[in-house]
Chains A and B, each alone.
Chain A
Amino acid sequence: MVKLELQSVWLAYGGNVVVKDITFQVMPGEMVGLIGPNGSGKSTIIKAISHVISLYSGKIFLDGKDVFKIPRGDLARLIGVVPQMPLLPSAFTAFEIVLMGRNPHLGLLQYEGARDLAITWRAMEKTATHSLAERRVGELSGGEIQRIVIARVLAQEPKSILLDEPTANLDISHQVEILDLIKNLCLENNLTVLVALHDLNLASQYCDRLILINSGRVHVQGTPEEVINSRNIREVYGAEGCVYAHPVNGLPAVLLKAGSSKHAKPGDAIKGV
């Protein structure tokens, strides 16, 4: 079980700094949400933790070890990533894609054995993609591809999972199904889960803690109740959101109102009042 720790991390593309001085921790068994507007740096943070881009400055530790000093093969057994809208080669079957999750567990001279096939199959059952196993990826919908990539990360058996908008392509029933699945895995296996989410309501429902990012900086972090309130939403999103307590579990829920953006005509603002 691993603890993920970012210490004053700065990230840049070329000379263009996009993430500024971010510090947070994710503990084993904890599901933490990264929220914030488009372009605030959520995806960039996930890429840096998985060592796809390098740091501008700062440190990222996994269980006290510097992520950038862990060899890639070892890192892929510790961290699994579900990228945002992943591109998959269309000729491969769903099963072949999920089987690629076993790659970090196999040496150059090893082939997938019965155990790898079995773990792959079980990962597909868990994500309800086993009926798609022999279909070519090019024939599948966005939501099916999303679930296949989540199955691949399960087959990878990492200690920590990073997800970038895992529900972006899914309808509401699959959104809940996938996040339930991730939440369960997190609790049962003490996984360290960091998930970037657009949907503030889903973030509030599923995450133990939320980190609200605004133009590359941490605006506020804490429990959903501490983070999701009208003031923070106005400051970060510039939109007027109405925050209520969820009628069943009392967690904060955001309801949007037409006419609350800067593009609204004066007459729209009072619609429905």
Chain B
Amino acid sequence: MSLSQVKPSSLEQSVPIHFPHWRHRTYAILGLLIASGGVVAFATTVGSVQIPFSTVWRILLSQLPLVDIAPTWLSTTETIILEIRLPRVILAGLVGAALAIAGATYQGLFRNPLADPYLIGVAQGASLGAVIGFLLPLDWHGMGFGIVPLLAFTGALFSVAIVYNLARVGKTLPMTTLILAGVALGALWGSIVSYLIITSGEKMHGIIFWLMGSFSLSQWSEVKVVLPYVVVGVAIILLYARPLNVMHLDEEQAQQLGINVERLKLVLLAAATLITAAAVCFVGTIGFVGIIIPHAVRLVWGPDYRFLLPLSVLSGAIFLILADLVARTALAPTEIPIGVITAVCGAPFFLYLLRRKKRAVFF
């Protein structure tokens, strides 16, 4: 009897429907969604000025439509919450989400556990753009942001565009060529950046601080610029979760299972590159999030991209909000670059997850 001739009802009874652990992972998504809301509120509460948790909640809720709470707090308190802390927390969440999902996407496309969002030259291109921005004797501001993020964003996209065109062979894009071209061009940008830094004189401190990442100057105008890229990019990548699973086999099998491999690579590389460029252009090339968050999610909830991608988005957001919280409070009033915190706090946790498995890690 052919499989397709069997009545669906009789088939369903024969399946132990519980076992693909999907319900479990769906609860994990819901749980992290609630947790991320809590983390936003918590991170907004903590800071140099003591503001009670209840006041923070009431200020946040009063901003929602249809909620009417009479203000019992000082207007300066409201300004601290809404204009200083909240945009910073939201931007950290957006950047964490963007880097985590971009990392997961690159790891799937390249079938390489070492892939991260900066693999094919985004970070080095952004750094070069930013450094040039710092050194230019210009003080241009437009559309809510300055010359540094503009050149960082342009540099990131420009760099990947060059790598893409170098690696293309006819109508196909061999991924190994793409990685090698990205690494080589990244090294070239990196050495130019190093040279520019040592000759930058008094601007050196600002440049290095940018390269290690910081949310210290975050504003709503920056959130408004980053948000659309991240929302659209994440939505596109989530749409391709199942094809990414199939792509993880290898390109030949993916084609034989009906995937238009070249189009998939182009769409996903474009989406992941755009959200990475948008994420780093204001806050610098923050490391560690993009490579480790997807692996941590894999270790806990498995490699299925339909769950891996949304869980990475939420975990990345929560992780970077908390890392930024440590960065601004640990040595207050001094800010620690967030790139330092992500690895210092993240690496031990990840190593704990690795050891907990007690067997070889699969990818």
A binds B: yes
Q: A156 contacts B248, CB within 8 Å?
A: no
Q: B249 contacts A100, CB within 8 Å?
A: yes
Give residues 195-247 of B contacting A (CB, 8 Å): 239-240, 242-243, 245-246
Q: B19 contacts A80, CB within 8 Å?
A: no
Give residues 1-35 of B contacting A (CB, 8 Å): 1-4, 6, 8, 11-12, 14-17, 19-20
Q: A100 contacts B257, CB within 8 Å?
A: yes
Closest Cβ–Cβ distance, residue A151 to chain B (whole Å): 11
Q: A76 contacts B250, CB within 8 Å?
A: no
- A114–B360 CA distance with the chains assembled, in angstroms: 33
* Chain A interface, >50% SS class: helix
Given A76-B256, A138-B360, A119 contacting B304 (CB threshold 8 A):
no
- A76–B256 CA distance with the chains assembled, in angstroms: 6
Q: Is A95 an interface residue, CB under 8 A from the partner?
A: yes
Q: B243 contacts A86, CB within 8 Å?
A: no
Q: B11 contacts A92, CB within 8 Å?
A: no
Q: A96 contacts B15, CB within 8 Å?
A: no
Q: Is B253 an interface residue, CB under 8 A from the partner?
A: yes
- A157–B258 CA distance with the chains assembled, in angstroms: 13
Q: A119 contacts B11, CB within 8 Å?
A: yes
- A134–B243 CA distance with the chains assembled, in angstroms: 21
Q: B303 contacts A115, CB within 8 Å?
A: no
CB-CB under 8 A from B140, the residues of chain A are none
Q: B258 contacts A92, CB within 8 Å?
A: no
Q: Is A221 an interface residue, CB under 8 A from the partner?
A: no
- A90–B363 CA distance with the chains assembled, in angstroms: 6
Given A106-B242, A122-B3, A189-B2, A91 contacting B258 (CB threshold 8 A):
no
Query: Which B-chain residue is minimally distant from A96 (CB atoms)?
Result: B304
Spot the interface stretch: A45-53, A165-173, A207-215, A253-261.
A45-53
- A9–B363 CA distance with the chains assembled, in angstroms: 39
Closest Cβ–Cβ distance, residue B5 to chain A (whole Å): 9
Q: A138 contacts B2, CB within 8 Å?
A: no
Q: B243 contacts A52, CB within 8 Å?
A: no
Closest Cβ–Cβ distance, residue B46 to chain A (whole Å): 37
Q: Is B60 an interface residue, CB under 8 A from the partner?
A: no
Q: B255 contacts A91, CB within 8 Å?
A: no
- A136–B260 CA distance with the chains assembled, in angstroms: 27
Q: A95 contacts B11, CB within 8 Å?
A: no
9 contacting pairs across A/B (C-beta < 8 A): A74-B258, A75-B258, A76-B258, A83-B252, A86-B249, A89-B248, A92-B245, A114-B17, A118-B6
Q: A52-B255, A72-B255, A83-B256 are in contact. List 13 more A-B contacts (CB 8 A).
A: A50-B256, A72-B258, A81-B253, A81-B256, A89-B303, A100-B245, A104-B257, A109-B239, A117-B17, A119-B3, A122-B3, A122-B14, A157-B4
Chain A residues near B (Cβ < 8 Å): 47, 50-52, 71-77, 79-81, 83, 86-93, 95-97, 99-101, 103-104, 106, 108-109, 111, 114-115, 117-119, 121-123, 125, 133-134, 136-138, 154-157, 188-189
